[in-house]
Amino acid sequence: MPVVGVLLWATLLTLGWRAAHPKDHGFATPRVQLSFKELKATGTAHFFNFLLNSSDYRILLKDEDHDRMYVGSKDYVLSLDLHDINREPLIIHWPASQQRIEECILSGKNSNGECGNFIRLIQPWNRTHLYVCGTGAYNPICAFVNRGRKAQGFPPSQPGGRESRSTDSPLSPRPAQSKDYIFYLEPDKLESGKGKCSYDPKVDTVSALINEELYAGVYIDFMGTDAAIFRTMGKQTAMRTDQYNSRWLNDPAFVRAQLIPDSSERNDDKLYFFFREKSADAPLSPGVYSRIGRICLNDDGGHCCLVNKWSTFLKARLVCSVPGPDGIETHFDELQDVFIQQTQDTKNPVIYAVFSASGSVFKGSAVCVYSMADIRMVFNGPFAHKEGPNYQWMPYTGKMPYPRPGTCPGGTFTPSMKSTKDYPDEVINFMRAHPLMYHAVYPTHRQPLVVRTNVNYRFTTVAVDQVDAADGRYEVLFLGTDRGTVQKVIVLPRDDMETEELMLEEIEVFKVPAPIKTMTISSKRQQLYVSSAVGVTHLALHRCDVYGEACADCCLARDPYCAWDGSACTRYSASSKRRSRRQDVRHGNPIRQCRGYNSNANKNTVEAVQYGVEGSTAFLECQPRSPQASVKWLLQKDNSDRRKELRVEGRVLRTEQGLLLRALQLGDSGLYSCTATENNFKHTVTKVQLRVLSSRAVHTVLVQAEPPPRPAGCPHSPLPGPAAAPHSA
Ligand SMILES: *[C@@H]1O[C@H](CO)[C@@H](O)[C@H](O)[C@H]1NC(C)=O
Ligand SMILES: *[C@@H]1O[C@H](CO)[C@@H](O)[C@H](O)[C@H]1NC(C)=O
């Protein structure tokens, strides 16, 4: 008896991460939840499990032309096959030198193994080479990596051609070779990484290599106090943000850099930086602000002041908030990741950003979407101005110098000024004091697309795929969390401004849960690549068969990648014949979609016989496939020929996972059916024939079977409640 009791309580306690209140604001339940083991069993994922003494797989660079994924981790640069990251990985071992590691340890920096060469930058350099940088045990270093397919007649022996396992001088390159690919570090082209890569591996570096010039958001000193947006390499002068000027950058954490053209005129091209930084206005404001900043690519700095410093740097606040019931906005202030969704018009990509709430009050995150039109409007609007430290920020209303501060030289509005060095001193002086725009950038529809509150995790990353389904094009969001899962989400428009969020899947993508650090998507290959401290995984964007074997399961799942093909739930492709495919993402109405297939809906009905003893407790399990389904129990008593809805009261208790019947009576015997209804579609999930045995009969059997009774006065059962043995009358 106690054993049954333990099992029962265990079942009730494992409610764990299943939804408790699906209707709560900011709460969402996945239709399908896969553990790492279950994901493996689907055969739709690959885990990089080549044995390396590495960690912190943070940098992913996809190279679709060569079918490779370049990965940067601690002491390693990898070139992996996009189709299967375990197939013949090419490996460059690039640790810092032993001497450098010792110096680093002596300077007291190795508390968490930071004295390694953490790869933080991998950028395409030219047709044959990559540019890579690492922290170099607190002394950043950069190098060129030769990569690509072997050309016909390529010399078989590489410069410094040694086996990848050679163990001499640690800074020497270890060429990794395979039959068709070249992948090795150029031995005599090592460079200093100062201004290209941060010293501290805990600090993220963002970068963009454009026209052989490297733009990077980094901390450029050993102490990690001097943050800057830097330009190095190339023919133009080296440039940076104004040093130790907290109006420009105040303890920033860089998230992404992205070139977005402003017009067809190349001279107008701007590089956008996404970051968060400490607020200079504390304590009246949140501790952290999220920012979008930008510079002109052809900025040469000022000639009077701001020499070799950006003279076009501007920034604005990125707002992502929800109105509370009391009218006070709840802000998600800490930008975590940005995904740039390209459109037909390269000037107007759509920007998806993930934020978390910074307060200790509650844990939450949100996804907000921004348009370039809104962003440009803010940069074309008033500048923020402050008379002095104790004044409020105001829109600047004084006389505006010409050209308007932030304008690129030689562009649409300044064809005659070829360089920022030609700008009047007033423009440069104005820029130095007014890097901030007065208005903030608000998301499309002024509200987040997705919100999570009252949950014990945060979003860390976002990637978006566009999917053509039978009833239109859908944006599918893949959201990485700090507990090592990826959520696949679509947001559907409802009436008015309302939207409906559907979480299609939540998947554990690593064996050991670790916060998702980087994600990149290949629509071409229908794969999502995910990295964390513990490794790299890639998984298919869809696993249609996990939704179930019936047409109704497939239809109710409303996954735009999937459709019912007449016999199974499979990948929908817009080009295949529509008549034979059943899909209805917007309404998920199986009554209409699955006409002719409805008999399948009850194919999965579980039928069981269960025994209970009079006076004890029985638990009847019923777990509908969908957490959104509403569940009803019907009972047909043994002595009756009518089914009636079971009233949940008194001895009868409902839980997430089924029905609890306490203090069983003989009259409780009967056929219990559990039905789930979703979108007006009803089907039976379980049927249980419950047989209640009289306690007297059971007691007689027990007395005959058991060894002598325990001494009197000893409590019957260590477990309270329903697990107690039947009363010994
Ligand atoms: C792996 O790296 C750790 C520290 O980075 C080191 O202590 C250990 O000896 C290495 N193990 C092997 C097998 O190289
Ligand atoms: C690419 O750059 C590397 C490093 O500067 C150089 O050695 C190589 O010749 C270049 N390749 C081409 C095709 O320009």
| Minimum CA distance residue for ligand 2 atom 6 | 129
Domain 542-601: which topology?
Answer: ligand-binding face of the semaphorins, domain 2 (3.30.1680)
- Given the candidates 2.40.170.20, 3.40.50.970, 3.40.50.2000, 2.60.40.10, the CATH classification of the domain at 605-695 is 2.60.40.10
Interacting residues of 239 by C-beta distance below 8 A, sequence separation 6+: 230, 231, 299, 300, 301, 308, 309, 310
Cα–Cα distance measured from residue 696 to residue 700, given in angstroms and rounded to the nearest whole number: 6
The per-residue pLDDT for 424 is 93
Average pLDDT over residues 30-40: 94
Task: Identify the weakest region by mean pLDDT among 100-104, 154-158, 454-458, 542-546.
Answer: 154-158
Residue 514 vs residue 179, higher pLDDT? 514
pLDDT at 178: 57
Give me ligand 2 centre to Cα 126, in Å. 6
Instruction: Quote the pLDDT of residue 715.
Output: 43
Note the pLDDT tens digit of each residue in 139-169.
999 999 999 877 654 444 444 333 343 333 3
Choose the most confident range, by mean pLDDT, from 334-338, 496-500, 582-586. 334-338
Kindly report the CATH class assigned to 211-455: mainly beta
Cα–Cα distance measured from residue 118 to residue 202, given in angstroms and rounded to the nearest whole number: 10
CB neighbour list of residue 133: distance below 8 Å, 6 or more residues apart: 119, 120, 121, 140, 141, 142, 143, 193, 196, 197, 205
Lowest mean per-residue pLDDT among 175-184, 609-618, 637-646? 175-184
CA of 509 to the centre of ligand 1 (A): 25
603 has pLDDT over 60: no
pLDDT at 461: 98
Structural tokens at position 559: 């996954």
Residue type, 528: L
Cα separation, 196 vs 511, whole angstroms: 33
- Read off the pLDDT of residues 13-24 as tens digits, 9 standing for 90 and up: 333 333 333 333
Q: Give tens-digit pLDDT for 355-371.
A: 998 766 677 999 999 99
Is residue 197 scored above 70 in pLDDT?
yes
| 347 burial type by CB count under 10 A (0-12 exposed, 13-18 middle, 19+ buried) | middle
Rounded average pLDDT over 71-92: 95
Write the CB contacts of 703 (distance below 8 Å, at least 6 apart in sequence): none
pLDDT attached to residue 114: 94
Judge whether 232 and 314 are in contact, CB under 8 Å. Answer: no
| pLDDT exceeds cutoff 50 at 714 | no
Enumerate the domain spans of the chain: 211-455, 542-601, 605-695
Ligand 2 contacts (CB < 6 A) are 125-129, 144
Lowest mean pLDDT among 140-149, 324-333, 599-608, 691-700: 599-608
Of residues 76 and 606, the one with the higher pLDDT is: 76
pLDDT band of 416, cuts 50, 70, 90: confident
pLDDT band of 280, cuts 50, 70, 90: confident
Find the mean pLDDT for residues 243-265: 94
Lowest-confidence segment of 160-169, 656-665, 708-717 by average pLDDT? 160-169
Maximum average pLDDT range among 379-393, 605-619, 621-635? 379-393
Q: Which ligand is nearest to the CA of 129?
A: 2
Residues 473-485 have pLDDT tens digits of 999 999 999 999 9
* Cβ atoms 100, 139 nearer than 8 A: yes
pLDDT for residue 196 is more than 60: yes
Highest mean pLDDT out of 107-116, 166-175, 568-577: 107-116
Which numbered ligand comes closest to the C-alpha of 53? 1
pLDDT of residue 677: 86
Are 135 and 203 in contact, with CB atoms under 8 Å apart? no
* Closest atom, ligand 2, to C-alpha of 146: 3
pLDDT tens profile 671-682 = 999 988 887 788
Q: What pLDDT is attached to residue 247?
A: 92
471 has pLDDT over 70: yes
From 53, 74, 114, the mutation candidate for ligand 1 (largest count of ligand atoms within 8 A of CB) is: 53
Q: Which ligand has the shortest distance to the CA of 130?
A: 2
In DSSP terms, which residues pair with 384 in a beta bridge? 395
The angle at the Cα of 216, spanning 212 to 220, to the nearest 5 degrees, equals 125
The helix or strand, by DSSP H or E, that contains position 189, with its residue range, turns out to be none
Average pLDDT, whole number, for the chain?
85
Q: What is the pLDDT of residue 81?
A: 94
Out of 63-77, 278-292, 558-572, 580-594, pick the least confident. 580-594
pTM: 0.82
pLDDT of residue 708: 55
Q: How far is CA 580 from CA 262, 572, 591, 662, 727, in A?
A: 45, 11, 16, 49, 61
Distance from the alpha carbon of residue 53 to the mean position of ligand 1, in angstroms: 6
Whole-number percent of the chain with pLDDT over 70: 85
Q: Please check the confidence at residue 594 and state whether its pLDDT lies above 60.
A: yes
Residue 575 has pLDDT above 80, yes or no: no
| Mean pLDDT on 168-183 | 55
Percent of the chain with pLDDT over 90: 59
Q: Which atom of ligand 1 is nearest to the CA of 116?
A: 5
Q: How far is the CA of 149 from the centre of ligand 2 (A)?
A: 15
- Does the pLDDT of residue 267 top 90, yes or no? yes
